Amino acid sequence: MSADGPRAPAYEEAVRARIAAARLWAAHQAPYLASAVFALNPLILQPARDADTGVPVADPDFRAFPADTRWNLYVEPGSALATPVEEIGWWMLHQVGHLVRGHAARSPVRPATGQEVSHAAGAVGPRDAEAHRWSQAADAEINDDLEAEDLRGPAGVLSPAELGLPANRTAEEYVPMLEVLAQAMDRGGRALAEAIDCGSAADGQWRPYEDSGSGDGLTRLDRELLERSLAAGIQDRISARSEVPSGWRRWAEERLRPSVNWRARLGATIRRGVSTVAGQVDFSYRRPSRRAGAYTDIVPPSMVRAVPDTVLVIDTSGSVTNDALNRLLAEVTGIIAGVAGPNRRLRAFCCDVHPHAVQVVRRAGDIELVGGGGTDMRAGIAAAMALRPRPDLVIVLTDGRTPWPEQRPATHVLVCLIGDGGHAPDWASVARIPADAPLRTPAKGES
Ligand SMILES: [Zn+2]
Q: Tell me the domain boundaries of the chain.
A: 10-110+125-213, 307-433
Give distance in angstroms: CA of 106 to centre of ligand 1.
Answer: 14
Distances (CA, A) of 174 to 154, 264, 286: 21, 20, 12
Handedness of CA 442, 334, 419, 252 (dihedral sign): negative
Give distance in angstroms: CA of 245 to centre of ligand 1.
Answer: 18
Confidence band for 287, pLDDT divided at 50, 70 and 90? very low
**Residue 122 contacts by C-beta under 8 Å, 6 or more apart in sequence?**
none
Note the pLDDT of residue 343: 66
Note the pLDDT of residue 97: 96
CA distance 181 to 298: 6
Could you tell me which residues are beta bridge partners of residue 418? 433
Give distance in angstroms: CA of 445 to centre of ligand 1.
Answer: 45
Note the pLDDT of residue 5: 54
Give distance in angstroms: CA of 34 to centre of ligand 1.
Answer: 19
Confidence band for 288, pLDDT divided at 50, 70 and 90? very low
Give distance in angstroms: CA of 98 to centre of ligand 1.
Answer: 7
- 331, 263 contact by CB (below 8 A): yes
Confidence band for 77, pLDDT divided at 50, 70 and 90? very high
Confidence band for 129, pLDDT divided at 50, 70 and 90? confident
Give distance in angstroms: CA of 198 to centre of ligand 1.
Answer: 5
Note the pLDDT of residue 434: 75
CA distance 285 to 247: 20
Note the pLDDT of residue 352: 92
Arithmetic mean of pLDDT over the chain: 80
Give distance in angstroms: CA of 185 to centre of ligand 1.
Answer: 21
Give distance in angstroms: CA of 89 to centre of ligand 1.
Answer: 13
pLDDT tens readout for residues 266-282: 777 677 666 655 553 33
- 310, 391 contact by CB (below 8 A): yes
Q: What is the pTM of this model?
A: 0.65
Give distance in angstroms: CA of 95 to centre of ligand 1.
Answer: 6
Q: What angle do CA 267, 272, 275 make, to 5 degrees?
A: 125
CATH topology of domain 307-433: Rossmann fold (3.40.50)
Confidence band for 286, pLDDT divided at 50, 70 and 90? very low
Assess whether pLDDT exceeds 90 at residue 138. Answer: yes
Give distance in angstroms: CA of 138 to centre of ligand 1.
Answer: 7
pLDDT tens readout for residues 358-397: 998 877 788 888 988 888 999 999 999 999 888 888 999 9
Give distance in angstroms: CA of 207 to centre of ligand 1.
Answer: 15
Confidence band for 15, pLDDT divided at 50, 70 and 90? very high
CA 388, distance to chain mean position in Å, is 28
Give distance in angstroms: CA of 97 to centre of ligand 1.
Answer: 8
Closest CA to 434 of 446, 447, 416: 416
CA distance 320 to 369: 11
Q: Which residue has the higher pLDDT, 324 or 380?
A: 380
- 282, 175 contact by CB (below 8 A): no
Rg from Cα positions in the chain: 23
Note the pLDDT of residue 92: 97
Note the pLDDT of residue 294: 43
Note the pLDDT of residue 6: 64
Closest CA to 109 of 36, 206, 227: 206
Give distance in angstroms: CA of 202 to centre of ligand 1.
Answer: 6
**Residue 426 contacts by C-beta under 8 Å, 6 or more apart in sequence?**
69, 104, 105, 220
